[in-house]
Amino acid sequence: MMIKGDYYVGDLCYVLHEEWDDVCRLLFAGRDDHGCNQGEFNLPDGRRFAIYNTAFGDGVYYDQNGRSYGVDAGSIGCILLSDIDLNHPDNFTGDGQSITFDKDFYTGKLDSKIMFHDISIETNPVYEKEFYE
């Protein structure tokens, strides 16, 4: 479960440059099949984040409100804005969204939809097309 607050929702590779090796170790540690874990994790310093694989890797995906999420690492996640070094020159929040969650919330993935509380991001372009037609 994630605690309430102001979050960056998007590809975490854009906002966790210094921590990306730690993120990858958490996702791939102990995996013989080289598959990627998904779910909620804690960085070594205790900062919590959630991350889920997109259905078709990199691209631009949309939530139910039409907001876009650019992806370059094949995943979409969320982390408290206060847990991001917004002054780091390589950290960039422009391809994701800043979203306030007013209460603690669950994250998850159902088929190709990535969900953060009441935000649902469809990552299958076929379903996206049907959704917006």
Give the pLDDT confidence of 73-129 residue by residue, as tens digits.
999 999 999 999 999 999 999 999 999 999 999 999 999 999 999 999 999 977 545
Look up residue 60 and give its two tokens.
């631009």
Q: Which distant-in-sequence residues (6+ apart) come within 8 Å of 113 by Cβ?
A: 120, 121, 122, 123
Identify the residue whose tokens are 């422009």.
94
Please say if the pLDDT value at position 59 is more than 80.
Answer: yes
Confidence at residue 125, expressed as pLDDT on a 0 to 100 scale: 74
Confidence at residue 32, expressed as pLDDT on a 0 to 100 scale: 58
Mean pLDDT of 38-53: 95
Confidence at residue 36, expressed as pLDDT on a 0 to 100 scale: 67
Please say if the pLDDT value at position 132 is more than 80.
Answer: no
Cα(10)–Cα(76) distance, rounded to whole angstroms? Answer: 5
Residue range 15-36, pLDDT digits in tens:
999 999 999 888 887 655 555 6
Identify the residue whose tokens are 């408290």.
80
Number of domains composing the chain = 1
Please say if the pLDDT value at position 5 is more than 80.
Answer: yes
Cα(127)–Cα(37) distance, rounded to whole angstroms? Answer: 24
Query: Residue 97's CB: how many other CB atoms inside 10 A?
Result: 19
Does pTM top 0.85 for this prediction? yes
Give the structural domain span for 86: 5-132
Q: Is residue 83 within 8 Å of 56, Cβ to Cβ?
A: no
Q: Which distant-in-sequence residues (6+ apart) come within 8 Å of 10 by Cβ?
A: 69, 70, 71, 76, 77, 93, 95, 96, 97
